[in-house]
Each structure stands twice: as structure tokens, then as C-alpha cells.
Structure 1
Amino acid sequence: MPQHTSHRRICRDCDGFAAAAISTGTRHRDGSRVTIRVTCQTCKGTGHQLPAAQLARAGR
């Protein structure tokens, strides 16, 4: 049975996983880890890319 897929293109840089939490290795006083949230710069954290603009020839 075919899978239903979105018509939007998945970002080629992050493969749709637009945000990641990275541990810095240090801990807070309560023992939890310090994390940094990082988003994909290409898709701006959406996980999808807009189609590339098409070039149009003008003139001769």
C-alpha cells in the first residue's frame, strides 16, 4: 500500500530533523545536564525547504 507523503520537500541538510538539543557536558546544581538547542540554518527550523527559484531567460 503506498504511503502518503507531503508535497513539501524535506530539507537536505537536516533530513527533516530541524532542531537538536546538544549536551555541553556540564551539569546544573540539581544534577540535570546543560543543553543547547540548535536549529538548522538552511530551513530556519521548519524541516522543509522551499523549491529553488527557476531562472527565466529574458531578452535575446
Structure 2
Amino acid sequence: MPESTPHTRVCRDCDGFATAAITTGTRHPDGTRATLRVACPACKGTGRTLPAALARAGK
């Protein structure tokens, strides 16, 4: 029988895309765009969440 891979819990707020690059509209002197990196506040940039039982237990 094939082995099943363990199911990792994906953050429900960011759907696993934990960091986004947002352009500010300005450019650097070399012509590249100035960007900001923003992390998901729910999972703090990991893209995964803990099961509810572990989160309530404080682990």
C-alpha cells in the first residue's frame, strides 16, 4: 500500500501564501521598484497553523 503523506494545516487567512511583496509605486535610482514585504498576521509568515487543541493548550 502507498504511504500517505502527513497533512500539513494551511493557514486559513493566507491560504499558505504567508508573505506578499507590495510595490510602493516609487523606483530606486537604478530603476528597480521599491517594494514592501508583508507577513500574514495570523500565522506570522509561516503559512501554517496549529491544530485548535494545541493552540488552546498553549503549546
Q: When the two structures are superposed, what TM-score results if normalisation uses the length of structure 2? A: 0.76
* Paired-residue identity, %: 67
**Residue in structure 2 matched with residue 19 of structure 1 by the alignment:** 19
- Structure with more of its chain in strand, by fraction: 1
Please tell me whether Structure 1 or Structure 2 has the larger radius of gyration of its CA atoms: 1
Q: Aligned-pair distance for 1:5? A: 5.4
Moved more, 4-13 or 21-30: 4-13
CA 1:16–1:5 in 2, change beyond 3 Å: closer, same or farther?
farther
Cα-Cα RMSD: 1.9
Q: What runs of 5+ residues in structure 1 fail to find an aligned partner?
A: 56-60
Q: What runs of 5+ residues in structure 2 fail to find an aligned partner?
A: none
The one-letter code matched in structure 1 to 2:16 is G
Moved more, 41-50 or 5-14: 5-14
